[in-house]
Structure 1
Amino acid sequence: MSKFENIEYTALLSTFKELLKQNKLKFTKQREVILKTLYEQNEHFTPEDLYIYLKTKYPELNIGIATVYRTLNLLEESHMVTSISFGVAGKKFELANKPHHDHMICKSCGLIIEFQNEKIEQLQMDIAKVHNFHITSHLMQLRGLCERCSKENSNH
């Protein structure tokens, strides 16, 4: 971790500890590694994927799937993480400390591609202005097929 990342993570950890305290929950190593993993890994995790990753990376920790679910839900409720819904397939979570971005999601394999586009952002603001609408947040998800799945589909 660079010095900047260290300061950023320390602040994030401090906010997390305060959140746990407010919710009358204990700060545990298990909860800390959930936050640390979300911070260090630039991925979108399902609770199950995160659980398997943590069991592999920290075999000495007695971490349960319920702890992963509860911690992710608490972090989402406090806006420290965001999620993308996959309907009956569940949610994938990411830390909310990234700059604003949108997502393209493959309906076949679940690949998530993050993107930023200033023209789209400006167009949204222009549309809101025309309608005298004040945007406080937004979430754009484009769903379709990634390049690999498109090729596989065309071969059938």
Structure 2
Amino acid sequence: MSAFENLEYSSLLANFKELLKNNSLKFTKQREVVLKTLYERNDHFTPEDLYIFLKSSYPELNIGIATVYRTLNLLEESHMVTSISFGVAGKKFELANKPHHDHMICKTCGLIIEFQNDKIEQLQLEIAKANHFHITSHLMQLRGLCEKCAKEKS
């Protein structure tokens, strides 16, 4: 479970300000809107998608793509956001404030479906115990075709 799971925005913002301070970085409106957007929206963003969204949502704000990348990297290093790797296509990010979940990812359109399954979680624990292994975290990504793409391929 993430330390940031189910945090209210005010607590998340306080943690973010402390993170910036600890890394000798200034708190700016640009960095704040990156965090706020991740908090308010429940999707998975590439840095480019997030940048385009921020430019259209905050036209008065002078925000650069480098700020988006640096902020996301800092948040990921501090475990405030998580990412899903798409190989050469890059990463998609989400705020790490949700309960644990896994992902199904369409290889054709990139659709991400979140799911949680208690049977899978229990089976992982049983497998770890049988192998004298202590799980501290895990990521499950099932890759395949979403319903729409599977229909188009047939």
Q: Which range, TM-score by smaller chain? A: over 0.9
The equivalences for 1:75-86 within 5 A come to 75-86=75-86
Equivalent residue for 1:129? Answer: 129
| Secondary structure of the structure 2 residue equivalent to 1:70 | helix
The CA deviation at 1:35 is: 0.1
Equivalent residue for 2:138? Answer: 138
Q: Distance in 2 between matches of 1:133 and 1:63?
A: 45
Equivalent residue for 1:60? Answer: 60
Residue identity matched to 2:46:
T
Sequence identity of aligned pairs in percent?
84
TM-score, normalised via structure 2 length: 0.95
The CA deviation at 1:61 is: 0.1
The CA deviation at 1:13 is: 0.2
Equivalent residue for 2:15? Answer: 15
The CA deviation at 1:107 is: 0.2
The CA deviation at 1:121 is: 0.2
Q: Which has the higher contact order (CA 8 A, sep 6+)?
A: 2
Equivalent residue for 1:117? Answer: 117
Report runs of 4+ in structure 1 exceeding 3 Å deviation.
Answer: none
1:87-144 deviations in Å (ceiling 9; x for gaps): 0000000000100000000000000000000000000000011111100000000000
The equivalences for 1:15-94 within 5 A come to 15-94=15-94
| Secondary structure of the structure 2 residue equivalent to 1:108 | coil
Residue identity matched to 1:93:
F
Structure 1 portions without partners, runs of 5+: 1-6
Q: CA RMSD in A?
A: 0.7
Q: Distance in 2 between matches of 1:27 and 1:68?
A: 13
Structure 2 portions without partners, runs of 5+: 1-6
TM-score, normalised via structure 1 length: 0.94
